[in-house]
């Protein structure tokens, strides 16, 4: 098989950002998402943008890749911009088209909110672009570790996530196979009215579900046969290593936070 | 002769809510280093036996002894460490995100320290000749390669016995040969006991000893030669005789003086081309 299917949108690489500990990346992105809401003037937004673009530049991922990730939300951003442009009535009137008037506050608000939206998506996209899903899983498991004391089944959740990720390509292959098999029996997946197409989808989903349950059952048996008995007494092959550079990046986020607090009006 | 590595005494089993026994009063033993094949048609109870051997199912009656110890709740985890089971579907036993993760899975379950894990994974991957694929995801491997990874996952635990439960039935001929060749090598070089459960008599022909199951009971037991002499009896219980065996008996019926015995394809070819010069 030759299809190098990439789950999520991970772009392989060896940049500083790629090599950051997934825990550090998760914390950075999470903190960033929170402090974005502190910004309320040009200086703070400039600072946030600077950080995000520096982060993106350090990943050495071609801008076209990142842009592709941002494309789906472009319409939402545009819509927000227009909405704020016409609905906010603050400051001086700048422009007037018939009954619609654009205020100075509207432009400011529209640009800020759209920018906030873009920055949020940019940073979260950076996480998925530079981290494999399995690394994200490891990071989440490690970060949520303390919750084990509160009886949250962290290990089980992480394992569920890892197995789901592992089976995505398998199920996609299976879907393709079933689609071909059904098409050979005369099912038309592309044409026809909406209701007809829905009916065709059912002929795909039912076999897919049945085989997935069968898979799950067999996988559970195989896991048990291989000595799986829950997280207790289990060692881990994948190990995360916190490096000085991870601390540096977290410190940068802390600095960003401090500056935002200082500069916001 | 040393104590058998595996002995089953009068084992019976039936699935919940069923009145018929899936396995009835089955007894046999396996010696260390032996290649034992259990053959039978679908529903003959052979896979049920495999599942009982590593404690996935509990026999209703009878006793299973592995390494001289009775299989029970106290010994089941040790048994699962020392006995590896390769299942039929290559995809549904691949747990890890990549080859190395999957080999590590059973090691993790057994609490092996990480440094030793790395060493054992390297050793295991070498034994199945899959070194270049260490970082591959399962969807980039063929069925035969996935089964070899499953075997590596077992080898990493340094097992005494490998059970193949129809492990080659979903593979193409090349994948099947790859897997069988790997297991054969391990059987010879490391004296790992192999229990191969199959409906393919061609595959079973290469075993040291055969056990034929029918409707949950042992119908016959013996060397491949003894078993293939049963001929049509095997066909009557739904087994397909290897081509060379069928061909051999047809030729004998026609009065061609072949040596008595069963043949592998190579042996039959050898016998046929030397036949003429003997005359």
Alpha helices by DSSP H, listed for chain B, are 46-53, 76-82, 99-109, 114-127, 143-155, 173-190, 201-204, 224-228, 232-236, 243-253, 265-278
Q: What residues of A are in contact with residue B93 (Cβ under 8 Å)?
A: 218-219, 222, 226
Backbone angles phi, psi at A40, to 5 degrees: -145, 10
Tell me whether A222 touches chain B (CB under 8 Å). yes
Is the pLDDT at A96 greater than 90? The verdict is: no
Question: pLDDT tier at A101 (50, 70, 90 boundaries)?
Answer: confident
Average pLDDT over residues B214-238: 86
Is the pLDDT at A136 greater than 80? The verdict is: yes
A222 → chain B, closest CA residue: B93
The number of helices, as runs of H, and strands, as runs of E, in chain A is 10, 2
Q: Please state the domain extents for chain B.
A: 6-241
Chain A contact probe: residue of B85, B95, B138 with most A CBs at under 10 A: B95
Nearest CA to A220 out of A150, A176, A168, A156 is that of: A156
Q: What residues of A are in contact with residue B112 (Cβ under 8 Å)?
A: 235
Tell me whether B54 touches chain A (CB under 8 Å). yes
Looking at residue B84, what is its pLDDT? 93
The Cα of A234 is separated from the nearest Cα of chain B by a number of Å equal to 5
Express each pLDDT in A20-76 by its tens digit: 999 999 999 999 999 999 988 889 999 999 999 999 999 998 888 888 778 878 888
Express each pLDDT in B18-39 by its tens digit: 888 899 999 999 999 999 999 9
Q: How far apart are CA A187 and CA A194, in angstroms?
A: 14
Nearest CA to B262 out of B183, B218, B189, B205 is that of: B205
Do A163 and B117 lie within an 8 Å CB cutoff? no
B97 → chain A, closest CA residue: A166
Average pLDDT over residues B64-87: 91
DSSP string, A14-80: -SHHHHS-HHHHHHHHHHHHHHGGG--SHHHHHHHHHHHHHHHHHTT--HHHHHHHHGGGHHHHHHH
A134 → chain B, closest CA residue: B97
Average pLDDT over residues A104-114: 86
Question: pLDDT tier at A4 (50, 70, 90 boundaries)?
Answer: very low
- Residue with the bigger pLDDT between A4 and B6: it is B6
Question: Is the pTM value of this prediction over 0.90?
Answer: no
Looking at residue B6, what is its pLDDT? 92
Q: How far apart are CA B137 and CA A121, in angstroms?
A: 28
Contact B136, A255 (CB under 8 A): no
Question: pLDDT tier at A103 (50, 70, 90 boundaries)?
Answer: confident
Looking at residue B234, what is its pLDDT? 84
Do B111 and A4 lie within an 8 Å CB cutoff? no
Q: How far apart are CA B150 and CA B5, in angstroms?
A: 22
Backbone angles phi, psi at B30, to 5 degrees: -135, 135
Q: How far apart are CA B190 and CA A147, in angstroms?
A: 45
Q: What residues of A are in contact with residue B85 (Cβ under 8 Å)?
A: 222, 225
Query: Could you give the count of Cα atoms lying within 13 Å of B267 in the half-sphere of its Cβ?
Result: 16
Nearest CA to B79 out of B88, B89, B69, B87 is that of: B69
Looking at residue B64, what is its pLDDT? 93
Do B114 and A228 lie within an 8 Å CB cutoff? no
Looking at residue B262, what is its pLDDT? 63
Average pLDDT over residues A206-216: 94
Looking at residue B279, what is its pLDDT? 59
Share of chain B above pLDDT 90, in %: 54
Express each pLDDT in B131-185 by its tens digit: 999 988 888 899 999 999 999 999 999 999 999 999 998 999 888 998 999 999 9
Is the pLDDT at B276 greater than 80? The verdict is: no
Superfamily of domain B6-241: P-loop containing nucleotide triphosphate hydrolases (3.40.50.300)
Cα B36 to chain centroid distance, Å, stands at: 7
Q: Which residues of B221-241 are buried (b: 16+ CB within 10 A; e: fewer)?
A: beebeebbbbeeebeebebeb
Contact B156, B107 (CB under 8 A): yes
Average pLDDT over residues A126-144: 89
The Cα of B92 is separated from the nearest Cα of chain A by a number of Å equal to 5
Looking at residue B278, what is its pLDDT? 64
Q: How far apart are CA B28 and CA B10, in angstroms?
A: 9
Question: How does DSSP classify residue B219?
Answer: E
A166 → chain B, closest CA residue: B97
Contact A250, A29 (CB under 8 A): no
Looking at residue B35, what is its pLDDT? 94
Do A237 and B139 lie within an 8 Å CB cutoff? no
Q: Which residues of A141-165 are buried (b: 16+ CB within 10 A; e: fewer)?
A: bbbeeeeeeeeeebbeebbebbbeb
Looking at residue A3, what is its pLDDT? 37
Express each pLDDT in B182-219 by its tens digit: 999 999 999 999 999 998 888 888 899 999 999 888 99
- β-bridge partners, A97: A100
Is the pLDDT at B1 greater than 60? The verdict is: no
Tell me whether B108 touches chain A (CB under 8 Å). yes
The alpha-carbon radius of gyration of chain B (Å, integer) is 20
Q: What residues of A are in contact with residue B157 (Cβ under 8 Å)?
A: 227
Is the pLDDT at B68 greater than 50? The verdict is: yes
- ipTM here: 0.86
Is the pLDDT at A187 greater than 90? The verdict is: no
Looking at residue A5, what is its pLDDT? 41
Is the pLDDT at A1 greater than 50? The verdict is: no
Tell me whether A221 touches chain B (CB under 8 Å). yes
Average pLDDT, chain A: 87
B138 → chain A, closest CA residue: A166
């Amino acid at each position: 098989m030759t299809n190098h299917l990439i789950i999520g949108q991970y772009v392989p690489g060896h940049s500083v950002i790629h090599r950051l500990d997934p825990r550090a990346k998760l914390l950075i992105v999470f903190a960033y998402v929170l402090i974005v809401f502190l910004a309320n003037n040009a200086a703070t937004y400039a600072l946030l943008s600077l950080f995000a673009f520096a982060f993106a530049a350090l990943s050495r991922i071609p801008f076209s890749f990142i842009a592709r990730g941002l494309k789906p939300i472009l319409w939402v951003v545009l819509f927000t911009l227009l909405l704020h442009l016409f609905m906010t009535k603050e400051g001086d009137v700048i422009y007037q088209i018939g009954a619609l008037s654009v205020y100075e506050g509207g432009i400011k608000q529209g640009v800020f909110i759209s920018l906030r939206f873009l920055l949020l998506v940019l940073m979260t996209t950076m996480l998925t672009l530079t981290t494999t899903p399995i690394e994200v899983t490891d990071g989440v498991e490690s970060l949520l570790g303390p919750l084990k004391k509160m009886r949250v089944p962290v290990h089980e959740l992480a394992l569920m996530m890892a197995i789901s990720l592992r089976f995505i390509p398998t199920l996609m292959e299976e879907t393709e196979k079933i689609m071909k098999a059904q098409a050979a029996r005369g099912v038309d997946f592309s044409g026809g009215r909406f209701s007809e197409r829905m009916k065709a989808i059912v002929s795909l989903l039912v076999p897919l579900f049945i085989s997935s349950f069968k898979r799950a059952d067999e996988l559970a048996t195989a896991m048990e046969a291989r000595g799986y008995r829950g997280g207790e007494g289990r060692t881990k092959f994948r190990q995360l290593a916190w490096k000085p550079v991870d601390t540096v990046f977290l410190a940068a986020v802390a600095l960003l936070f401090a500056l935002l607090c200082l500069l916001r009006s | 002769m040393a104590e058998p590595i595996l002995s089953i005494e009068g084992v019976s089993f039936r699935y919940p809510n069923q009145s018929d026994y899936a396995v009835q009063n089955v007894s046999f033993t396996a010696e260390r280093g032996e290649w034992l094949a259990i053959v039978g048609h679908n529903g003959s109870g052979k896979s049920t036996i495999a599942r009982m051997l590593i404690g996935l199912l509990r026999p209703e009656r009878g006793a299973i002894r592995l390494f001289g110890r009775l299989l029970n709740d106290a010994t089941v985890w040790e048994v699962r460490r020392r006995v590896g089971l390769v299942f039929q579907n290559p995809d549904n036993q691949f747990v890890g995100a990549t080859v190395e993760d999957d080999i590590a899975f059973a090691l993790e379950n057994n609490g092996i320290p990480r440094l030793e894990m790395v060493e054992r994974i390297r050793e295991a991957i070498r034994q199945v000749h899959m070194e270049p694929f260490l970082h591959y995801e399962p969807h980039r491997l063929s069925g035969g390669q996935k089964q070899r990874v499953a075997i590596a996952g077992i080898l990493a635990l340094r097992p005494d016995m490998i059970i193949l439960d129809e492990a080659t039935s979903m593979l193409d001929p090349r994948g099947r040969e790859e897997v069988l060749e790997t297991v054969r090598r391990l059987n010879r070089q490391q004296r790992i006991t192999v229990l191969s459960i199959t409906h393919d008599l061609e595959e079973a022909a290469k075993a040291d000893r055969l056990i034929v199951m029918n409707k949950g009971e042992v119908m016959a037991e013996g060397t491949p030669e003894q078993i293939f002499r049963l001929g049509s009896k095997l066909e009557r219980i739904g087994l397909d005789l290897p081509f060379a065996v069928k061909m051999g008996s047809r030729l004998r019926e026609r009065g061609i003086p072949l040596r008595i015995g069963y043949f592998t394809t190579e042996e039959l070819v050898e016998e046929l081309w030397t036949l003429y010069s003997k005359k």
